[in-house]
Structure formats: C-alpha cells, structure tokens
Structure 1
C-alpha cells in the first residue's frame, strides 16, 4: 500500500482520526522550514502537507499568502521544495507527504519531470486547488505512472450532481473544504460539516479529511469526531509569522502542533 493508505489504515485500527498539518516550503527560510517539517511527526502530525510557493495563490487567505511570499523571498523554488522532501525522507520513510498548491508551477516544471522528481524525492500525493477533474489529462497520467495520488477537493457547493465526478477518480483521500472562500478567514458549523462528510462517505470509500477554519485543539477535536482527519494550515502558519524573530521558532510550531494532536487523539475517547 501507499504511505497514505497505510497511515489511514493505522488510524482506523487505532479508532482515531488523523492530524494533517500544512506548512509552506521555505517559510521563513529553507533551513528553518526543514527543521519545522522534520519535527512535525514527533509533535503528532499523521500526514504533512507542504505548500509549493506561488506568486498568485488565489484560494489562500492573508496568512498563507504571506508565507508564500516569505518563502519566495528566501529563494524557494520547486527544486528546493523537492530537496526539502528528500531531506525529510532521510529520517522518516513512513509519514505521508502531500504537496499542495497550484497548477502553474507544476506545468512550468513539466508534468513528466515533476512527477518523476517528486516520486524520487518521496512525495506521496498532490493537491492542486485550481485543477478541476475535467482538466487533469495533462498531468494525471504522469502522476499515475509514478505512483502519486491526486487528492481531490470537495466543497460546500459540491452538489449531488457534481459529487460523483469529484470523488470518482480521487486518490489517497478526499479533502473537504469546510467553508466557501479563502483559507484562514472563517469557520463552518460542525453540524454542516458532519452532514457533508456523511454525504461524501456515501459516495466513496476513501478517507475524508476536513480543512479550512480549524484554529485550535478544540476545533480540531470537533472535526476529529466526524471526519477521518482534521487539516490545520493557517493557524500553524500564523505561529510561524508571530515567531519569526524567536530563537526557538521550530519548537514553538511543534508545541502548537502537539496541542492540536492531543485534541485530535482525545476526540473519540470515552
């Protein structure tokens, strides 16, 4: 099985949801970014999403936009993003890594070259927020050839007619975007999330991870009670932004992730 499938099978066996953490490659520097990523599994991250910096991140709010700009200013490129994954894999061959971002940098790199290099570096999957299923043909064959999962997004506006198209070719897991809008700006009611997860699970056997609007351990725990994983991005990126001058920046991030993990892991107890 893939690392993603293996990890979600482990979570099911443990009767708990997973914690998916997002950070941007190269934020605030490549060295600090690597230190942050390497410490995430020990802090409690079950799956790691790594953002590919891009100049026009249209689905992201101010926090992740700023992270991307910091990363680009630090000289982060796609080659260096993959090098970060490769360096992480030198010490961890179990934690799934999913690259998240936009289609443009992947096409600029070249779909076949990207898929081969990403797989060699140790990437397990890809989330491209601006790539609808109907437009996947240029990239999907290269990903499949190299064993990379293309994770698809469902949203509150994905209706019953659209849902089969979204989940039909999804791989790894389905990412449910809990709110309409950009990242880090608002939260959805847990009742609406639970009904959406139930609807998605009726259409696919893949795990469902829920993201957007999860700010703390309590909200992560609430999601963990109804979904297979809680995804936290902007709140972690905010810790980085607020601790840019701190000597212990990675430790601050890992401490916050540990709080989130305790919330997620305690969500189904009792």
Structure 2
C-alpha cells in the first residue's frame, strides 16, 4: 500500500506527480541564495549569455508538461487492465525494471539528441531552442521546442515504460526520479555532498560542458549514464577549477 492509494489512482499519480516534483525541486534551486562560490557560471553570465527570458522558459516548460500529461495519462490508462492483472512485483524486481528503463531512456535520448545536433535543419529549427540557455538553470531543464519535447522526453519515457514492463505504481517512482535527475543536471551549481555527483558521472558539470561552444559536439548522454558517449567516443572529460572572482568552472580536458 502507498500513501496515495486512497486518494488517486496510480495512473493519475504517474501522470501528475513528476510535474509537481519538477516545480518543487526546480523551485528549491530557484529560491536558493546566489551561492556564488558553487556556481559554474556567474549570475552576470546567466543574464548576459542566455538568449531567452525566464518567463518564456516557464511557458515552454508548461507546454511540454501539458503534452507529457496527455500522453502519460493516455498510456497509463490504456495499460491499466494489464497492470491490474499483474501482482505488484517485489522490490528487487521493481529495481530491475527501473534499471532497464534507465538504460532504455538513455539509449533513446542519446541517439535522438545526437541526431538533432548532426542534422543541421533539426538543430537550427528544433534543438537550438534548448541551447538558448547557454548557462543552464534548474527551471529550464525541460525548456525545449515542442517537437523535441515530444520526441526526446515524452516518447522516450513511453518506450522506457513499455519495454521495462513496469506497473503504473513503479512508473511513479521512475519518472519522479528521472525528473529530479534532469533538473539537477541543469541546476548550474556544484554543491558539496550532492548525491548525484557522487554516484553519476553524468552530472551538472558534465552537462554544462555540452551547453558550451567547446563541448557542443560531446556529452550527448542524458539523463543517467555516460555509456553511449564513452562507447562512441563522444565523451568529453572535464575538470573543475576555481575562478579568481569566485565560483567554479567546468573546463574540458584537451586532447
């Protein structure tokens, strides 16, 4: 039994919980003090380099989440009868299903993301919208062109759910975790003790490299591991250095 069972269905929870978690976790980062000693870019750089206002970013994220909600509710409802016929799997089995979903999502997003960079038309008219945030921040994690949001995130999530064979209840955990990880990767802060930085090479600094001019052809993997980047030689290692004026900078390793 889970705490929401008496209030909403697993299908509704799987649809709307990731949206709520997104705004809570991104809002947490947004409300933090400047924390200049832990920023990968100065606040001035964020204001000067980014090519889209904050209000437009919020609207873009809400549009993507609307589409995601429609698809998620339709998919989870369509598979509801199948889920109801299956006994809720054991914890080890759910963990295994989540790991499968993570690998499937990484695989889908790596190749779609990479192709959007390699195809000049798609990059210019679709993917470049996400790169208007030269200096990423948490609220902008899902700021994409609607077509990219549909292909990369929504379809990728649906395929991960179907291939892994997870139930709607397990999907609540998986999609909320994926959202938290994605927001963290775009937060622009290298905070001490961040558990994602301890367990994932695909982290805030890794993704920050991709948003910079010198790293735009590298580090396509998202949101969990770096497997495909390393196998296909698009991984760009980096090191963190302290800026004289304070804060940190993720610098690609040459060669």
TM-score by length of 1: 0.21
Relative to its length, the structure with more strand (as a share) is 1
Highest Rg: 1 or 2? 2
Name the structure, 1 or 2, with higher relative contact order (CA <8 Å, separation 6+).
2
Relative to its length, the structure with more helix (as a share) is 2
